Every structure is written in C-alpha cells, then in structure tokens.
C-alpha cells in the first residue's frame, strides 16, 4: 500500500539527502516511477543495510534471551469396555421392558473416552492434580531451566527462593500466592489434548522449561485420569448393584427379574474390570519421553523474520524520507 501510494505521489525538486549523493529535479505534476524508486533505494543502500543489521541483531538478542521449552507427549488409545458392550446388548434386547419398570439401559452407550477427555481438562481435576503432585511453584514461578545443574530457574519477582516466599505484586482479587483458578489457567496453557477423529487415538502433551518435569507431569496426568474414571465407575457400579439387588427382592415379574439379574452381572463386570485394570480408560500406545531437544523457540525463524522486517522497514523509511520529509 505504501509503495503504491509513493508511485502516484507528486514530487518536487529533490534536494541532496543523507541517504546518498544524488540530486533529482522533477516537475510537481510528474509521478515517481519504479526506476526512480530503485534509484532512491540504491542511494539509500547504507541506511537500509544498517537498518537490516540492527533488526537482525535485535532478533538474535531476543532469540537467545527466550528460554528453551521442551515437549513430552504420550499417545493413547481408548481401552475396550466389555461391560459397556454387555449393556448395549441388554438395551437392544430388554430396553422396552426395563423402561416400563423405570430403568434405563442406555448408560452403556456413553463414550467414556470423550468424558475422560473433558474431565482431564476440567478445573476440578486439574486443581486436584496440581495440589496432589505439588507443582504450583514450578508451574507459576519458573522462567527457565539450567541444563548443567538440571534445575529450574525461578523468577525472583514472583518467588523468593532463599526465603521460600511468594513475593509477586499483583492486583486484587488475586494475591501473592496463586489461586487454584489461576494455576489451572496456567496449566491449560502448557497442556495440549488432541483427539484424532479417524483413528480415535488421543495425544496428550505438556510443554515446559524442564524436559524431565514435562515427562513426569504428562505421565502422571495419564495415570490420574485413568484412576479418576475408575473411581467414578466403581462408585456408580456399586450403587447400581445395591439398587438392583433391592429391586430384585421387590419385583415379582419373572422377565423383569431376569433383566435385573443380567444388569447386576454387567455391573459386577464393571467392578471387576475397574479393580483389575490399571489403564482403565486409556491404554498407552507410545510412552512419553524426556525430550533432548527443545520444541521452541524457533531461533532461526526469529532471525529470518527479523531480517525481513528490517529490510521492509529500511525500504519504507528511505522512500518516505525522500518523498515526504525532503
């Protein structure tokens, strides 16, 4: 847009400028041509070059200043559920009869994988995860990782390591010590959960300054979500068994008692599978590893972008100085 505007700008007599030693004499009603712009850029080549060098130098400083961030990722597959398959079969066979008695057999159709993904990203689960594994300090106060000592570097304006005290200054209602809600928001920034709709595979990754902590956290979060879903299903199945047992004692219909017995059997399978399986909802396809190379920043890209921006800024500045501020 700037170049197009400059091409149609009326120019007066150009005086000798700081960019070079050439002097142009033009009539006011004539227009700046591409050839003349090329001439301006050539005579301003030193200014443009210096601008590019300054921009590249600044981008190198920024690239070196940014800390390395490492990614640890685990690939998961949904675990099969025999109890759900059994409930689906019962729903097709006795669904109408069970509904007459006020029972629902559609619970087996719930996609546990989808529920587990939503639970994994929920504030309740993540808040419990942060507290149980005591990761609030590294999560909220770390600003880098020292490779030689294999230790985190903490931001002194947030946390005083020597006094073991939160010292950050923040506006109310949040205080020096990060709240559960703030910690969850921060954790969601480094957590990525992606589901492949075609293969049903789920990838869970964590980006952090320390590759070892990223590996540790992503491994533990998979263990915790399996355990969380197991506990929920166990509690639900045990309550269902208790309810169904009471219904069996009060029901006189033979067909209904048959349905109830089969429901008790399926719920008992759920309890058995939950107690036996460690990988209850997700099975590990590819385990997480402690990454040796950082995922970001992309330092070469930063330098290239800096070079391009410096070139564009130098050209635009040179043309504006020769046409407007002559």
**pLDDT score at 67:** 94
pLDDT at 143 over 70: yes
Cα 184 to Cα 75, 187, 198, 220: the distances in Å are 23, 5, 30, 16
Q: Which of 82, 106, 290, 119 is nearest to 202 (CA)?
A: 119
* Residue 135: pLDDT over 50: yes
Confidence category of residue 31, pLDDT binned at 50, 70, 90: low
Is residue 10 in some structural domain? Answer: yes
**DSSP codes joined into one string, 232-284:** HHHHHHHHHHHHHHHHHHH---HHHHHHHHHHHHHHHHHHHHHHH-SSSSEEE
In a domain? residue 83: yes
Residue 29 in this model has a pLDDT that exceeds 60 = no
Residue 190, in any domain of the structure: yes
Three-point CA angle 142, 289, 124, nearest 5°? 55
SS3 content of the chain, % helix, strand, coil (to 5): 55, 15, 30
Percent of the chain with pLDDT over 90: 49
Indicate if 258 and 316 belong to the same structural domain.
Answer: no
Q: In whole angstroms, what is the distance from residue 280 CA to residue 147 CA? A: 36
Contact 280, 116 (CB under 8 A): no
Q: Say whether both 43 and 189 belong to one domain.
A: no
Q: Are residues 46 and 95 in the same domain?
A: no
Please tell me the distance from the alpha carbon of residue 151 to that of residue 159, in angstroms, as a whole number: 15
Structural domain for 46, as ranges: 2-66+299-323
Three-class DSSP category at 80: coil
Q: What is the per-residue pLDDT for 217?
A: 97
238 domain-assigned? yes
The overall pTM is greater than 0.85: no
- Residue-wise pLDDT tens digits, 270-325: 788 888 888 899 999 999 999 999 999 999 999 999 999 999 998 888 888 777 65
Provide mean pLDDT across the span 102-106: 48
Query: 305 and 282 in one domain?
Result: no
| Cα gap 184→128, rounded to integer Å | 10
Banded model confidence at residue 255, pLDDT cuts 50, 70, 90? confident
Does 168 map to a domain?
Answer: no
Kindly state the greatest CA–CA separation across the chain: 110
Please check the confidence at residue 1 and state whether its pLDDT lies above 60: no
The confidence band for 157, taking pLDDT boundaries of 50, 70 and 90, is: very high
The answer on 307 and 270 residing in a single domain is no
Do 189 and 45 share a domain, yes or no? no
Cβ-based neighbours of 158, under 8 Å, separated by 6 or more: 140, 141, 166, 167, 168
Closest Cα to residue 78, out of 206, 263, 203?
Answer: 203
| Averaged confidence pLDDT in the chain | 81
- Residue 82 and residue 59 share a domain: no
Let me know whether 281 and 247 are in one domain.
Answer: yes
48-97: per-residue pLDDT in tens? 899 999 999 999 999 989 999 999 999 999 986 544 555 454 444 444 44
pLDDT of residue 166: 95
**Quick one: 77 and 54 in the same domain?**
no
Name 96's Cβ contacts closer than 8 Å, sequence gap at least 6. Answer: none
Which position has the higher pLDDT, 22 or 200?
200
The pLDDT score that the predictor gives to residue 2 is 39
Asked if residue 172 is part of any domain, the answer here is no
**In the structure, what pLDDT confidence band is assigned to residue 18 with cuts at 50, 70 and 90?**
very low
Percentage, residues of the chain above pLDDT 70: 80
What's the structural domain count of the chain?
Answer: 2
Q: Phi/psi at 91 (nearest 5 deg)?
A: -65, -40
Report the range of poorest mean pLDDT among 21-30, 93-102, 132-141, 225-234. 21-30
């Amino acid at each position: 847009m700037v170049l197009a505007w400059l091409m149609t700008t009326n120019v007066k007599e150009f005086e000798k400028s700081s960019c070079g030693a050439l002097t142009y004499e033009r009539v006011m009603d004539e227009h700046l041509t591409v050839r003349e712009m090329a001439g301006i850029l050539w005579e301003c080549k030193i200014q443009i070059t210096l601008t590019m060098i300054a921009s590249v130098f600044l981008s190198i400083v920024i690239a070196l200043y940014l800390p390395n961030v490492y990614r640890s990722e685990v690939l998961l597959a949904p675990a099969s559920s025999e109890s759900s398959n059994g409930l689906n079969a019962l729903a097709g066979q006795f669904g109408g009869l069970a509904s007459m008695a006020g029972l629902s057999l559609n619970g087996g159709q719930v996609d546990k994988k989808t529920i587990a993904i939503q639970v994994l990203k929920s504030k309740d689960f993540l808040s419990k995860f942060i507290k149980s594994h005591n990761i609030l300090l590294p999560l909220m106060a770390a600003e880098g990782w020292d490779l030689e000592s294999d230790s985190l570097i903490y931001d002194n304006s947030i946390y005083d390591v020597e006094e073991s005290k939160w010292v950050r200054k923040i506006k109310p209602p949040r205080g020096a010590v990060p709240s559960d809600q703030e910690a969850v928001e921060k954790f969601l920034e480094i957590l990525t959960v992606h589901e492949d709709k075609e293969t049903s595979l789920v990838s869970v990754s964590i980006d952090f300054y320390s590759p070892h902590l990223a590996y540790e956290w992503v491994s533990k979060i998979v263990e915790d979500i399996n355990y969380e879903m197991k506990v929920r299903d166990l509690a639900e199945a045990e309550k269902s068994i208790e309810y169904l047992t009471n219904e069996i004692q009060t029901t006189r219909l033979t067909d209904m008692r048959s349905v109830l017995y089969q429901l008790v059997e399926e719920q008992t399978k759920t309890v058995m599978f939950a107690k036996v399986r460690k990988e209850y909802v997700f099975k590990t396809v590819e385990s997480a590893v402690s990454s040796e190379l950082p995922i970001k920043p992309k330092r070469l890209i930063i330098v290239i972008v800096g070079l391009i921006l410096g070139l564009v800024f130098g050209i635009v500045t040179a043309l504006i100085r020769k046409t407007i501020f002559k």
